[in-house]
């Protein structure tokens, strides 16, 4: 851990256990893997989405399509001057119309990223249901958003930061809370 003030809340095994549980819960809630599309929100939602899909493949021998969503253009704090039409890193090659879309992100905090993701999704298609899976719910919602699947509920104070590190993006797997 880099910072002396950091407190580890999940190690590599804990992250894997949380992903395994979320994969089981997704299958249970939706009565199997049919018609599910998993979409990761940039940045760390994408590797988490792929890990969940891989678990479902292990359990059910069923390949769930995985997409990538860039919510940058849908942020509610984006000013007109910041809007750059070339910023669109979304990559969703499968049809999401009438599908069960499971959005995946690493941290749920104010809910503003999840809200932006909903806007981005409805511009792409009309899923039958949209669900939300997060590795960590740290509270402090500013919008009426809740997650359907939560790896770990972690009460935090507003002057803390939850930092998720994944081997795909950060070369290690852990979640820490840091004081700012
Ligand atoms: O509920 P919220 O208040 O919106 O906070 C949660 C979001 O904040 C972080 O993203 P960040 O904007 O830092 O981008 P990153 O994922 O690319 O690091 C995190 O990955 C979530 O997407
Ligand atoms: O603590 C936080 C808040 C938002 N996003 C994060 O990744 N961590």
* Residue ranges of domains in the chain: 13-157
Q: Helices 12-29 and 45-60, interaxial angle, to 10°?
A: 60
Ligand 2 center–CA 112 separation, angstroms: 11
β-sheet with 36-41: strand ranges across: 66-69, 36-41, 100-108, 129-137, 149-153
Residues 6+ apart with CB under 8 A from 119: 71, 74
**CATH class of residue range 13-157:** alpha beta
Instruction: Please report the pLDDT score of residue 75 as a whole number.
Output: 80
Q: What is the mean pLDDT of residues 97-120?
A: 97
From the CB of 134, is ligand 1 less than 6 Å away? no
From the CB of 108, is ligand 1 less than 6 Å away? yes
Instruction: Please report the pLDDT score of residue 11 as a whole number.
Output: 98
- How far apart are alpha carbons 123 and 146 in whole angstroms? 21
Confidence of residue 82 (pLDDT cuts 50, 70, 90): low
Looking at per-residue confidence, does 72 or 64 come out higher? 64
Ligand 1 center–CA 43 separation, angstroms: 8
Instruction: Please report the pLDDT score of residue 77 as a whole number.
Output: 79
Instruction: Please report the pLDDT score of residue 135 as a whole number.
Output: 98
**Number of Cα atoms under 13 Å in the Cβ half of residue 35:** 13
Provide the ipTM. 0.96
């Amino acid at each position: 851990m880099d910072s002396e003030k950091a407190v580890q809340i999940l190690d590599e095994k804990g992250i894997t256990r949380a992903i395994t549980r979320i994969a089981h819960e997704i299958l249970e809630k939706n009565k199997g893997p049919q018609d599910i599309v998993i979409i990761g929100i940039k940045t760390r939602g994408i590797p988490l989405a792929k890990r969940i899909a891989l678990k479902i493949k292990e359990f059910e021998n069923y390949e769930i399509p995985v997409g990538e969503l860039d919510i940058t253009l849908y942020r509610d704090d984006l000013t007109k001057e910041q809007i750059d039409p070339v910023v669109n890193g979304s990559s969703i090659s499968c049809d999401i119309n009438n599908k069960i879309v499971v959005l995946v992100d690493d941290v749920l905090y104010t809910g503003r990223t999840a809200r932006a993701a909903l806007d981005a999704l409805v511009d792409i298609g009309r899923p039958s249901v949209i669900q939300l899976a997060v590795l960590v719910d740290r509270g402090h919602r500013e919008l009426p958003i809740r997650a359907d699947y939560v790896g770990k509920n972690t009460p935090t104070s507003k002057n803390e930061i939850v930092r998720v590190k994944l081997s795909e993006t950060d070369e290690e797997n852990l979640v820490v809370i840091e004081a700012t």
